A and B are shown apart, each in its own frame.
Chain A
């Protein structure tokens, strides 16, 4: 994706979830000591995200460039709510985030997801399996339960935020083609030289807000 955009002449900035140096060590330590609660877990990731947003995401956006994010706030919405934080709270927490022009959700059926991860890893990690939630004493069982709750949460987000769903069981080239089509559409009317963004009086990104209660 990144190479494809670059080849088309765009400057692309890439950012990954949970990668700022500021809170990396703390997260690691907290995980090791198993002292993280759902809320501190959530806040640490939000801190990491804020740090990256202000240093690596907003400046290129304001300069009119493309930012490609490997996971975004939806990861927090899904995971933190599955862990037990209030769904409204986590959305308000991330209210300072810029809303993406396009968000893709690579979806696989629960069974496939579990098999893929179990096959790829020698050992499942404590927090990855949601062991802190006491779903089950067995780590594999806990992992299955946690992951299926997580997928349910993602389904809700898909409706709420209009995520573009990509069938991740398809051949990788096929997936890429679909994504490229969608991105091409999203980039319609966008040219690299465009510089109006930064000059606009109001912020040009949309905010995450809590949807009105149904």
Chain B
């Protein structure tokens, strides 16, 4: 049976989801695990199978990206304001890009999803429920692939690929004496939150220490069943042959 899409929480009362034909796939993972490389490869592979693909990424909305950049420059944001800026950006993309694409039957590849926002908010405050409530309007993805890496392997990668930046190191939190210590503590915390969520939200965990090709192979293996299902419903395969979806 094709799983019907649902909202995480209270949802958008003015926008019932109905039967969205498309598939929503989120690729999660901390900074520097190679999400973007993987998504580029996935996109090509999915398109070759005849599916239209929409890629959506963090802070890419027309409405908000400039404001967020400006706010980051100023670096005088408190936790709520920071999280709400991200939520607004997310809502803009969700309603103006993602849902319309799902209605049109696209495969939507999300380079990070609300989980990144949750983890970032939790890094900045004790109370956990609020941010989950705020993102109650988000659509639950069909599949979340979590590219998991440990801090020891992450550090050399980030340094080789351009170094650590202020926000990826959580410098606003003053966790360590310098950029390196701060980055380490911040990313450790993020990985911890992601691990928790992996269980709670049933992520498909993929070991991001492997080679690019191996990771890609694993990702495709996880995604393939979703795409097949889409084709099968078109060909009207008898009910008994369809696999039970989780």
Q: Are A26 and B137 touching (Cβ within 8 A)?
A: no
Binds B, one of A9-17, A82-90, A120-128, A190-198: A82-90
* Residues on A with beta carbons closer than 8 Å to the beta carbon of B10: 86, 88-89, 92
Determine if A43 is an interface residue (Cβ-Cβ < 8 Å).
yes
| A84 and B84 contact, Cβ closer than 8 Å, known pairs A30-B63, A35-B96, A39-B95 | no
Q: Are B12 and A39 touching (Cβ within 8 A)?
A: yes
Q: Which of B57-103 contact A (CB under 8 A)?
A: 62-64, 66-67, 71, 77-78, 80-81, 84-85, 87-88, 91-92, 95-96
Q: Are A22 and B136 touching (Cβ within 8 A)?
A: no
Which of B11, B81, B96 sits near A86, CB closer than 8 Å? B11
| A95 and B88 contact, Cβ closer than 8 Å, known pairs A23-B67, A50-B80 | no
The residue among B9, B81, B85 with the most chain A CB atoms within 10 A of its own CB is B81
Q: SS class of chain B's interface: helix, strand, loop or mixed?
A: helix
Q: Are A92 and B133 touching (Cβ within 8 A)?
A: yes
Count chain A residues whose beta carbon lies closer than 8 angstroms to a beta carbon of B: 30
Query: Is the interface on chain B under 10, 10 to 19, 20 to 34, or 35 or more residues?
Result: 20 to 34
Determine if B45 is an interface residue (Cβ-Cβ < 8 Å).
no
Determine if B13 is an interface residue (Cβ-Cβ < 8 Å).
yes
Kindly provide the distance from the CB of B93 to the nearest chain A CB, expressed in whole angstroms: 10
Q: Are A50 and B88 touching (Cβ within 8 A)?
A: no
* Residues on A with beta carbons closer than 8 Å to the beta carbon of B85: 23, 47
| A29 and B63 contact, Cβ closer than 8 Å, known pairs A37-B91, A37-B95, A47-B85 | yes
Q: Are B91 and A40 touching (Cβ within 8 A)?
A: yes
Q: Are A43 and B91 touching (Cβ within 8 A)?
A: yes
Determine if A115 is an interface residue (Cβ-Cβ < 8 Å).
no
Determine if A54 is an interface residue (Cβ-Cβ < 8 Å).
yes
Q: Are B67 and A89 touching (Cβ within 8 A)?
A: no
Q: What CA separation (Å) do A92 and B14 show in the bound complex? A: 18
Contacts from B to A (Cβ < 8 Å):
9-14, 62-64, 66-67, 71, 77-78, 80-81, 84-85, 87-88, 91-92, 95-96, 130, 133-134, 136-137
21 A-B pairs within 8 Å (CB atoms) are namely A22-B67, A25-B67, A30-B63, A35-B62, A38-B12, A39-B95, A40-B91, A44-B88, A47-B85, A50-B78, A51-B81, A54-B81, A84-B13, A86-B11, A89-B11, A89-B133, A89-B136, A89-B137, A92-B130, A93-B133, A93-B134
With A43-B87, A54-B81 already in contact, 7 other A-B pairs whose C-beta atoms are closer than 8 Å:
A22-B71, A25-B67, A40-B92, A51-B81, A86-B11, A86-B12, A89-B10
5 closest A-B pairs by beta carbon, nearest first, are A84-B14, A92-B133, A86-B10, A89-B10, A47-B84
